[in-house]
Chains A and B, each alone.
Chain A
Amino acid sequence: MLNEIMVDVKGLVKRYGSFVAVKGVEFQVKKGEIFGLLGPNGAGKTTTIEMLVGLRKADEGTANLASFDVRKQVNKVKEVIGVQLQSTSLFELLKVEEILHLYASFYPSNVDIPQLIDDMLLSEKQNDRIKGLSGGQKQRLAIALALIHDPNIVFLDEPTTGLDPQARRTLWDIVLRLKELGKTVILSTHYMDEAHVLCDRIGIMDQGELIALDTPTNLVKKLQATSSVEFRLTNPPEQEWFMKMDGVEEVSIKDTFVQLYTDDLQLALTSLIQVSSEHDLNIKDLQTRTATLEDVFIHMTGRSLRES
């Protein structure tokens, strides 16, 4: 039962004029899984999600959601999915409870609304206008609206973007609770820590392509180097100069900031100290850490998540 495939994406392509926003994305999501689409802004995450929920027509390819074809059975699909879209706003002058009743009326059946309000931690605000809600509360309301008709598959497009750390953590708990309820969740994010905490599997997207797909742990393991040594150096020498050092697998230099990737942290550190004293390098802010998804992204694209 758990291996039942809920989302089957087959070669989705979306073009805007000559610009190809999504270039043949393919993946499958199993029932009860939290699947993350990770990538920088403009990577095609939102476009992919919008094609999956039937808001945009794919130029090529299709997707089956709970075995309904999104191109041919869009109304059936809309019954089994719930969506929280990026940067949507709601009727600001309506109250929390009123808008839940409104959205409930769009479907043949709906969940118990007071219970849903309670689950989304909105009990105190149920008679408040949407206008007066905080960012986190609005986002929880958006998720409540996505869950109103008890869908099997829930799409969350950047649910925590722009929220403070506290609100993000509250939202993470809610997403994890969805998994416990047996929902299949597809979420997009550009926060690697979020993807790491929430997702069972992650697809990394860049420039319209899915460039990697695996569990977070496996993605990091696939990096040839598992640790990183970082420091600042005024006038750092060329990349090749560091590559010659023992144990260094890869080097990334941004202005004065140098990152050395290694499989053998001890060896790399020892050679760094040795080289720096030989050439009289003035190393500042020296740090070591284990590699993260961010490093996976840098490794695969040569760019960091934030800058692109």
Chain B
Amino acid sequence: MRAYWQLTLAQLRIFARNKQVLFFTLLFPVILMLALGSFVGGGNTLSITVGMVDLDQTDASKDLKELFNKNEGIETQSYKKTETGKEAVENGNIQLLIEIPKGYEASLKDKNQAFSLPVYYNEKNLSASELGLTVVNGIIDQYSKQLVDYKPLVTIERVGIEALNLRYIDFLVPGIVAMMIMSNNMNGVAGQISAWRERGILRRMQGTRLKASTFIAAQITARLLLNGTQALLVVLIADLIFNINVAGSWLAMIFFIVLGTLAFMSIGFIIAGIAKNPESAGPIAGFASFPLLFLGGVFFPVSNMPDWFQPIVKVLPIAPLTSALRETMNLGTPIFQLGTETLILGAWLVGGFALASYVFKWE
């Protein structure tokens, strides 16, 4: 037991004194996050901006404008002339333009015939326009029913499922945390262990009464402390700068960070066992981590990939980790609903360490 604590302490001291490694392993994810978070997306995923031209300038037309202003699903923008509004639609600055023609109030008071509001949209941007038209149609429909005191016999109960205001950065941060866990553990373990073996450090320890299991256990403890802290630090930085909020429990998030760290560490130990020297450990770890980076849903959602490919991607260790972190951080999914992810990561962990202890060698 004394050996275990001493080795853990020694590894933590080595980490603390190797400032360069410490700095860059933390700096890379932070910079990546800052760069992607600031330049890509800017926050809006798909928003509808509706332009309004009020040619009537009456109380009724103001009521209508107010109705659109209050709606949370769309943004509004006022234009003085129809022409400038149309230009904005063409440029794509706004998706729709609603014109309230002169005589709108008068027509409402008349109540005899339906008044039609012209809505301009850009055919080149159909999907956004269609979505906008549906929203606008809904608003107008409800408004007009209200005006005539229409009592429907059958109604639908609108249970507002609050639309998740997910920004790209919210999607990105869990992915970056997962990526960081993967690269720090896989590359870190593989590189360090094979370097220590090459330099005979491990062989010297083999000459003592130290058991391999004690050595590995201490390695795991020290790395868990370091990499877990680093991952949490990235989440905290993201929290401070981009104001991402962890929707689920922090405990669940920490649980998945720990689970991911262990799973990837086990793969790192396997690579360290296979690699003949430290020079080959780097490329092998790179060979394993590079595809995972793109396939694992770090930068793009797994659902964007071809259907036949998705089952493969989902059993690789990175995808369950990113998805579990996303579910926890973005959606606040409780941990017991993430059984599949936990199971896959757990399988990698157990299988990984079993194989790692089989291929581990002191020299």
Hey, which bits of chain A sit against chain B, CB under 8 A? Answer: 53-55, 75, 78-79, 83, 85, 87-91, 93-94, 98-99, 101-103, 105-108, 129, 145
A-B interface, 10 closest residue pairs, ranked by CB to CB distance from nearest? A105-B6, A88-B200, A106-B208, A105-B2, A93-B17, A88-B204, A83-B207, A89-B199, A105-B3, A106-B210
Q: Across the interface, do B14 and A85 meet the contact criterion of CB distance under 8 Å?
A: no
The CA of A55 and the CA of B204, in the complex, are separated in Å by: 9
Known interface pairs A85-B203, A89-B201, A93-B17; 10 further A-B residue pairs with C-beta atoms within 8 A, sorted by A's residue number: A53-B207, A79-B209, A88-B204, A89-B200, A91-B14, A91-B201, A93-B13, A102-B9, A102-B10, A108-B209
Distance, CA A222 to CA B26, complexed state (A): 68
In contact, B204 and A94 (Cβ under 8 angstroms): no
Chosen A-B contacts, 16 in total, with CB atoms closer than 8 Å, are A55-B206, A55-B207, A75-B209, A78-B207, A83-B204, A85-B200, A85-B204, A88-B204, A91-B201, A101-B6, A102-B6, A102-B9, A105-B2, A107-B208, A108-B209, A129-B17
Chain A residue at minimal CB-CB distance from B18: A93
Q: Please determine whether B200 and A78 come into contact, CB atoms closer than 8 angstroms.
A: no
Write out the residue numbers on chain B whose beta carbons fall within 8 Å of the beta carbon of A91: 10, 14, 201
Complex CA–CA separation, A91 to B14 (angstroms): 8
Residue contact B201 to A106, C-beta cutoff 8 Å: no
Nearest CB in chain A: distance from B199 CB, A: 4
Nearest chain B residue, comparing its CB with the CB of A148: B208
Residues in B with CB closer than 8 Å to A145 are 204
Give the distance to chain A from B112, nearest Cβ to Cβ, in Å: 89
Provide the residues of chain B in CB contact with A94, threshold 8 Å.
10, 13-14
**Bound Cα distance A99, B208 (Å):** 13
B166: chain A residues within 8 A (beta carbon): none
Contacts A53-B207, A78-B207, A93-B13 hold; do A102 and B199 have CB atoms under 8 A apart?
A: no
Bound CA–CA A75/B206 (angstroms)? 11
Kindly identify which residue among A55, A101, A105, A107 contacts B203, using a CB–CB cutoff of 8 Å: A55
- B5 at the A interface (CB under 8 A): yes
**Proximity bits, B205-220, A CB within 8 Å = 1, else 0:** 1111110000000000
Q: Of B14, B18, B209, B363, which is within 8 A of A78 by CB?
A: B209
Q: How many angstroms between the C-alpha atoms of A78 and B200 in the bound complex?
A: 18
Q: Give the distance to chain B from A131, nearest Cβ to Cβ, in Å.
A: 9
Q: Which residues of A contact B14 (CB under 8 A)?
A: 91, 93-94
Contacts of B209 in A (CB 8 A): 75, 78-79, 106-108
Report chain B residues within 8 Å CB of A53: 207
A103 CA to B207 CA in the complex, in Å? 11
Bound-state Cα–Cα, A75 to B17, Å: 33
Which residue of chain B has its CB nearest to the CB of A95?
B13
Nearest opposing residue in chain A for B3, CB measure:
A105
Residue of A nearest to B198 (CB): A89
Interface centre among A101, A102, A145 (most CB of B within 10 A): A102
Write out, one digit per residue, whether chain B residues 1-26 have a CB within 8 A of any chain A CB (1) or not (0). Answer: 01101110110011001100000000
B223 CB to closest chain A CB, in angstroms? 15
Most buried by A among B5, B201, B204, B363: B204
- The smallest beta-carbon distance between A159 and chain B, in angstroms, is 14
Which residues of the other chain, B, contact A88 by a CB distance below 8 angstroms? 199-201, 203-204
Verify A90–B207 contact, CB threshold 8 A: no
Q: Assess whether A105 is in contact with B5, with CB atoms less than 8 Å apart.
A: yes
Contact B200 A106 (CB under 8 A): no
- By a CB distance below 8 angstroms, the chain B residues around A89 are 199-201
Report the separation of the CA atoms of residues A145 and B2 in the bound assembly, to the nearest whole angstrom: 17
Task: Across the interface, name the chain B residue whose C-beta is closest to A85.
Answer: B204
Interface string of B43-74 (1 = CB under 8 A from A): 00000000000000000000000000000000
Given the contacts A106-B209, A107-B209, A98 and B10 also touching, CB distance less than 8 Å:
yes
Q: Which of A83, A89, A102, A105 has the most CB of B within 10 A?
A: A105
Closest to B4 in A: A105
For B196, give the chain A residue with the smallest CB separation: A91
A107–chain B nearest beta-carbon distance, Å: 6
A90 touches B201 (CB 8 A): yes
Quote the shortest CB–CB distance from B221 to chain A (angstroms). 15
Q: Which residue of A lies closest to B208 (CB)?
A: A106
* A-contact bits for B160-203, CB 8 A (1 contact / 0 none): 00000000000000000000000000000000000000011101
Q: Chain A residue with minimal CB distance to B206?
A: A55
Q: How far is the CA of A36 from the CA of B124 in the complex (A)?
A: 90
How far in angstroms is the closest Cβ of chain A from B202? 10
Task: Using A88-B200, A98-B10, A101-B6 as known contacts, say yes or no to A106 and B205 having CB atoms under 8 A apart.
Answer: yes
Residue of A79, A83, A98, A106 touching B3 (CB-CB under 8 A) = A106
In the complex, what distance in Å separates the CA atom of A55 from the CA atom of B203? 8
Residues of B within 8 A of A83 (CB): 204, 207
Question: B2: nearest residue on chain A (CB-CB)?
Answer: A105
Chain B neighbourhood of A79, CB < 8 A = 209
B363 — nearest CB in chain A belongs to which residue?
A55
User: Shortest CB–CB separation between residue A155 and chain B, in angstroms?
Assistant: 9
Residues of A contacting B5 in the complex (Cβ-Cβ under 8 angstroms) = 105
A102 neighbours in B (Cβ, 8 Å): 6-7, 9-10
CB neighbours of B3 from chain A (8 A) = 105-106
Whole-angstrom distance between the Cβ of B330 and the nearest chain A Cβ: 39
Contacts of A85 in B (CB 8 A): 200, 203-204, 207
Docked Cα-Cα span, A87 to B204, in Å, equals 10
Q: Contact between A90 and B210 (Cβ–Cβ < 8 Å)? A: no
- Return chain B residues, CB-CB under 8 Å to A90: 201, 204
The answer for the CA separation of A53 and B10 in the assembled complex, in Å, is 25
- What's the least CB distance linking A152 to chain B, in Å? 15
Q: How far is the CA of A87 from the CA of B208 in the complex (A)?
A: 17
Assess the A103–B201 pair: CB atoms within 8 A.
no
